[in-house]
Chains A and B, each alone.
Chain A
Amino acid sequence: MSRPSSRIARRFATLKAQGRGALIPYLQACDPDYDTSLALLRAMPGAGADLIEIGVPFSDPSADGPIIQAAARRGLKGGSTVAKVLEMVARFREGDSDTPIVLMGYLNPIGAYGPERFCADAARAGVDGLIIVDLPPEEADLLEGPAAAHGLDIVRLVAPTTTDARLPVVFDHASGFVYYVSITGVTGTRTASSDELAAALPRLRAATDLPVAIGFGIRTPDQAAAAVRVADAAVVASALLATLEDTLDEAGRATADTLPRVLAQLGDLSRAVRAARA
């Protein structure tokens, strides 16, 4: 369960009271460079982000589609390391103590940093939760102890392939919110239909009281609105990264268009999410 005092729990409680769903945009750290990515992060809450996911670049993102793969390569080229990502969050926290930050990535960079040291430093930097793609519940004991000790939520992923019988295993020790991977596939490819989502949510609701976010394949304001009509949050990643990529110059550097265009798209998504249940 989410600790009542956690930023994630507070944010979902506030939104619930307001009767609206959350928009969770995603950015890849240091994509295409540290300063641009920090500036984008700082501007996201003002453009309508309710929570923010920061991708921790990894050399072998085997669950991600071409758009996030390319963003991860740019992030690594832009100097991203685990330490840099934590520094970025700490800088963000200087000006924002309310917007929850969730790091999403793969296990190996965290393992190399050291799970205990990572959780301590992440909590100190102001990180609220972790989504580790290749850490299923069966292996999560590696991180659960240190994460709990430092007040970090471990957000569990649920997929269409997750059977009802398996849901209790997945939700055991889950906290913060639940991330529903709405399609079988990699990020940024197919989009789940409203029927598929409508069928999936009740079985999750029956198994957990945690807020449910839907991710993978949400690109447009309409799709984001459809997601928050059945769930508590919509995660948009590849669509924003594709826009960012489109604004870069030939050498892969940010341009004057980069922030305005990504933030304008975020604004459109946010308006749709806020109006979805009206």
Chain B
Amino acid sequence: MHGTQPDGTPAGDTPARPNSLRAGPDARGRFGIFGGRFVAETLMPLVLELDQAYAAAKADPAFRRELDYYLKDYVGRPSPLWFAHRLTQELGGAKIYMKREELNHTGSHKLNNVMGQILLARRMGRSRIVAETGAGQHGVATATVCALFGMKCVIYMGATDVERQKPNVFRMRLLGAEVVPVTSGAGTLKDAMNEAMRDWVTNVRDTYFLVGTVAGPHPYPEMVRDFQSVIGEETRQQMHAAEGRLPDIIVAAIGGGSNAMGIFHPFLDDASVRLIGVEAAGRGLDSGETAASILRGRPGVLHGNRTYLLQDADGQIDEAHSISAGLDYPGIGPEHSWLHDIGRAEYVGATDDEALAAFQLCTRTEGIIPALECSHALAHVARIAPTLDPETLIVLNVSGRGDKDIFTVAAHLGVTL
């Protein structure tokens, strides 16, 4: 990773080298000590089958061509890299670019991954799709491709999230999905994940579990990262076209971590590029009501992988808290845990209030209503940009649009809709 990396080279020209940080995971699905395949025996043969099917698809140019076709003509890629003039002016410091993932069909980065996995599920002959969702963005994306390909779709969503993300629940149902509210636990993403796993273990023959983030048993963290890496690959080319060099800092919000992993991964070997993941601090990192798994958790095993988890001394998993349903998860993708431990990426927190302020700032200065998830990333950009000189190039991953969040934001601002 210490070789001189030509700046702005398209990602396709920078294959992973022997010492590359992009080479993981290993054959056991591990990034350092993180990752792995901690699933019940009933699921293990399926996980191994998926691993083989994904490896075969990855090596098949026809699969790549098919995915590229759908990404371009259905998802709407590439997404623009937008120079945020007024936000840059307002913050008065570093030059801020926005990677416009909210412009994808269905309004977030989620469709990049979902499109890849649905094509894989079809190759594997599966007819029924189950998925978990928090904010509903992954659920909407999954329901969308199921409609597109005429497949049966069951979405597990925590009952609390069903309540605070009503527009997305309605969207999923319009798209033909069955939305199952999950009442166990706090009724959020963790509980939806448990229930999706219970469905998968019960319906192993025809069902494909379409995981929405870079977590779960191997090969999910690798596969979802690969499908999301299109974000970083495009960013690299677009920044080269705009500025003739690499960005200095990339900032992305982290729940499970798929949008962050997607934009970070193509830059892992570029030591000059600072990678900053912003966790949801909730009511504050030390409030006891947070979703900051790396900053306030410790390594453990949940949902098929070893990673940083919010947990008590006895290893019971804590409930996460965030204003953003999409970040309300007590774990994080294992590759992030590894990048944290080796110091390649930095992880910071932003609170509910900071995210709300950033949400309004972005809307007012750029005419872009961001999702509450990426508003956390923007909150950190707003913190650091004024301290940096105007030559510094920051890329903020605007991973989703905020239309779904206007009810939550209105409630917090004391407005009745």
Contacts and interface: CB of A to CB of B under 8 A. Distances in A.
Contacts of B204: 161, 184
B46 to A, nearest CB: 7
Nearest to A106: B301
B39 interface: yes
B198 A76 contact: no
Given A109-B315, A166-B45, A139 B194 contact: no
A185 B300 contact: no
A62 B41 contact: no
Given A60-B194, A60-B317, A185-B201, A108 B45 contact: no
B116 interface: no
Residue of B203, B205, B304, B315 with most chain A CB atoms under a 10 A cut-off = B315
B241 interface: no
A80 to B, nearest CB: 8
A160 B37 CA distance: 19
Interface string A70-107: 00000010000111000000000000000000000011
A112 B45 contact: no
Interface string B242-265: 000000000000000000000000
Contacts of A189: 202
B28 to A, nearest CB: 7
Interface string B261-272: 000000000000
Contacts of B205: 184
B271 to A, nearest CB: 33
A252 interface: no
Interface in B306-335: 309, 311, 313-317
Interface stretch (A1-9, A13-21, A41-49, A128-136): A128-136
Contacts of A186: 198, 201-202
A110 B314 CA distance: 8
B292 interface: no
Contact of B315 (A112, A133, A166): A112
A63 B315 contact: no
A234 B415 CA distance: 59
B202 A60 contact: no
A83 B197 CA distance: 28
Contacts of A62: 193-194, 197-198, 303
Contact of B202 (A76, A108, A185): A185
A246 to B, nearest CB: 20
A59 B36 CA distance: 21
A89 to B, nearest CB: 16
A69 interface: yes
Nearest to B42: A159
B116 to A, nearest CB: 25
B36 A139 contact: yes
Contacts of A159: 40-42, 45
Contact of A108 (B42, B203, B300): B300
Contacts of B39: 134, 136
A85 to B, nearest CB: 10
A170 B184 CA distance: 32
Contacts of B301: 106-108, 111, 134
Contacts of B76: none
A211 B271 CA distance: 56
Contacts of B198: 62-65, 186
A158 B40 CA distance: 9
A211 to B, nearest CB: 18
A157 B40 contact: yes
A122 interface: no
A61 B317 CA distance: 11
A64 B202 CA distance: 11
Given A62-B198, A157-B40, A186-B202, A134 B314 contact: no
Contact of B40 (A82, A113, A134): A134
B63 interface: no
Interface string B26-64: 001000000011111111111000000000000000000
B138 interface: no
B315 A111 contact: yes
A62 B301 CA distance: 12
Nearest to A105: B315
A58 B316 contact: yes
Contacts of B317: 59-60, 108
Interface in B206-263: none
A18 to B, nearest CB: 30
A82 B316 CA distance: 10
A72 to B, nearest CB: 10
Given A58-B316, A63-B198, A186-B198, A163 B37 contact: no
Contacts of B36: 138-139
Contacts of B28: 138
A60 B201 contact: no
**For the complex of A and B, 10 pairs with smallest distance between CB atoms:** A112-B315, A109-B315, A159-B42, A185-B202, A157-B41, A59-B316, A62-B194, A108-B315, A81-B314, A62-B197
Interface of B: 28, 36-46, 184-185, 190, 193-194, 197-198, 201-205, 300-304, 309, 311, 313-317
13 contacts: A58-B315, A60-B302, A61-B194, A81-B314, A107-B301, A108-B302, A108-B317, A109-B315, A112-B315, A113-B314, A138-B28, A162-B44, A185-B201
